[in-house]
Amino acid sequence: MKEKSKLISQEKAFKFDFGYVPRSSAVFYYKYDKNFKTTIIILNYWKLKRGADVVIFASTRGMSGNLVKREIIDFKKGMVIQYSPVFEPDEFEGSIEIEVMSSSNLFIPYSAVTAVYETKKSISAVHSYGRFYSHHEIEEENMICEGRQSSITINESKNIKTSFVVHNGNEKLEVQECDLSVQNHRGERKTFKFSLCELKPYETKKIYLSDVVPELKSFTEGKLAFCSAGLNLKNSVLRYLVCWETNSHDQIQVTHTDFDYSYFEEEMLKDTICKVISPSVNGEIASVAIHGEFPPGELLLKKNSDKSKITIETGKTRFLKSEKVIDIISNSDLIPSRIHTEFYGDLNNETILPFHVSVGAFHSKWPLKRFWWGSVISSKEKNTKILIDEIDFIEGSKSHESFTISLYSSSRQDHLRKVIPVEKLEKFTKGVDISEIFPEACEFLDENFGYYTLYYEGGNFFVYSLIENSFGSITLEHGF
């Protein structure tokens, strides 16, 4: 591993300070068989936000990186693309890269795309987590391919296993020594080493953690554990997919990793309000892990329910249940600009694998964000709720009288639109079914995946989509 030196600037990201961006992309794990389906869902947000025309290339590769198919996909049928290519034979595992090209500035090199993974019993969605760097980024060495990832929860109970999915870039990567720094439910931390084989160009590797670290199950004792990981890639963004799967392979839940800011540098903010706001899922406040991969130091977590305080220090994770609002306080008046959080579904349900979703703490210097979009579906077997939390301490935010939700389909160029009085916001904090907002949603979407958009002039909403299937499996993902 290289010595810590790289600053990952949230301020730069908030300002879209990436230079001129003619190519925006994302890469996803892709699999299908008789029990498993992956759907890549893309909204033509480039046209909605900026009036930009784009060309989209979809490249499907096998696990070893071999190109299977490359084609242009477009929005001729509707404002949403559902992409699930099928090949002979009836089973496939690998990756799909989405590359978006334009003569206009796309501003952000990550494409805002969603992948949905479905088994016979489960459903799980994740937004863009990885991408292969563009040639100019490689030439300018403007990359983060080496270092550490965090915001990782390991679930190694008797019927569940955890894996990473990583996507190597366009050059071979030699054999490397990797590590997991794991905190178990007792608060004990241990570092495990393992070797990762050579990765071919564009290779996708699925790493089952208990296979490479056999002692992991005994150390975690079948309870949730939290970790950071040291693993490098070549010309590919250093983020990976975290999968929880049942041993029978009939359920899967996924989320993404994020950068370990006890390894990388980040900005520290002065005189800043910082809070964790947990979403309410079907009437229950989601459990939360607050990951301590931030610069060296100690923070206080103040629970709003009883005003009690607990400490969190660098390298530690705190797990809390049923806390809607948690204040994060620093004795030095400096708050890390990024503090990773991860929310969970019902961890006591022995039948349904719970969702896990990576988000982050909110602070008062967040920029106002007025336009949101996220995946939805309304069908006989699946329904979607829109959840909204108001972040009322963002500097410059003001309440406005209404917000607007629109619905876009893969089979139509038009859209549905509804203006909602802000007095209805409290109802949305608990979740409102898309079919309640739009009674014709099922027919309009043709029972397929689509996208909502939400516009609020106040700019201080945080929006999720919650999709639930007929088995009771839930996926929760925040909007773009």
Classify residue 49 by its DSSP letter: H
Question: In the prediction, which pLDDT does 4 show?
Answer: 47
Q: How far apart are CA 359 and CA 275, in angstroms?
A: 12
The amino acid at 337:
S
Alpha helices in 354-464 (DSSP H): 425-429, 434-437, 441-445
Tens digit of pLDDT for each residue in 427-476? 999 999 999 999 999 999 999 999 999 999 999 999 999 999 999 999 99
Bond before 367 cis per omega within 30 degrees:
no
Question: In the prediction, which pLDDT does 237 show?
Answer: 97
Question: In the prediction, which pLDDT does 440 show?
Answer: 98
Tens digit of pLDDT for each residue in 235-258? 999 999 999 999 999 999 999 999
Question: In the prediction, which pLDDT does 333 show?
Answer: 86
Tens digit of pLDDT for each residue in 34-76? 999 999 999 999 999 999 999 999 999 999 999 999 999 999 9
Is the per-residue pLDDT at 386 higher than 90? yes
Tens digit of pLDDT for each residue in 293-306? 999 999 999 999 99
> Mean pLDDT, the chain, as a whole number?
96
Going by C-beta distance under 8 Å and a sequence separation of 6 or more, which residues neighbour residue 443? none
Kind of pairing, strands 67-73 and 55-62? antiparallel
**pTM score over 0.95:** yes
Tens digit of pLDDT for each residue in 188-235? 999 999 999 999 999 999 999 999 999 999 999 999 999 999 999 999
Is the per-residue pLDDT at 3 higher than 90? no
Q: How far apart are CA 413 and CA 197, in angstroms?
A: 47
Tens digit of pLDDT for each residue in 23-36? 999 999 999 999 99
Asked if 132 and 236 touch (Cβ cutoff 8 Å), the reply is: yes
Is the per-residue pLDDT at 156 higher than 50? yes
Tokens of 174: 């030699």
DSSP 77-141: S-SEEEE----SSS-EEEEEEEEEE-SS----SB---EEEEEESS-EEEEE--B-BPPHHHHHTT
Kind of pairing, strands 252-256 and 176-183? unpaired
What is the Cα gyration radius of the chain?
21
For residue 328, name the pLDDT band (cuts at 50, 70, 90). very high
Tens digit of pLDDT for each residue in 82-130? 999 998 888 999 999 999 999 999 999 999 999 999 999 999 999 999 9
Is the per-residue pLDDT at 2 higher than 80? no
For residue 5, name the pLDDT band (cuts at 50, 70, 90). low
Q: How far apart are CA 368 and CA 457, in angstroms?
A: 9
Q: How far apart are CA 303 and CA 30, in angstroms?
A: 40
Token pair 């790493």 is at which residue?
Answer: 207
For residue 375, name the pLDDT band (cuts at 50, 70, 90). very high
Stretch 344-348: mean pLDDT? 94
Is the per-residue pLDDT at 145 higher than 60? yes
Question: In the prediction, which pLDDT does 1 show?
Answer: 43
Q: Find the length of the chain.
A: 480
Stretch 418-424: mean pLDDT? 98
Question: In the prediction, which pLDDT does 158 show?
Answer: 84
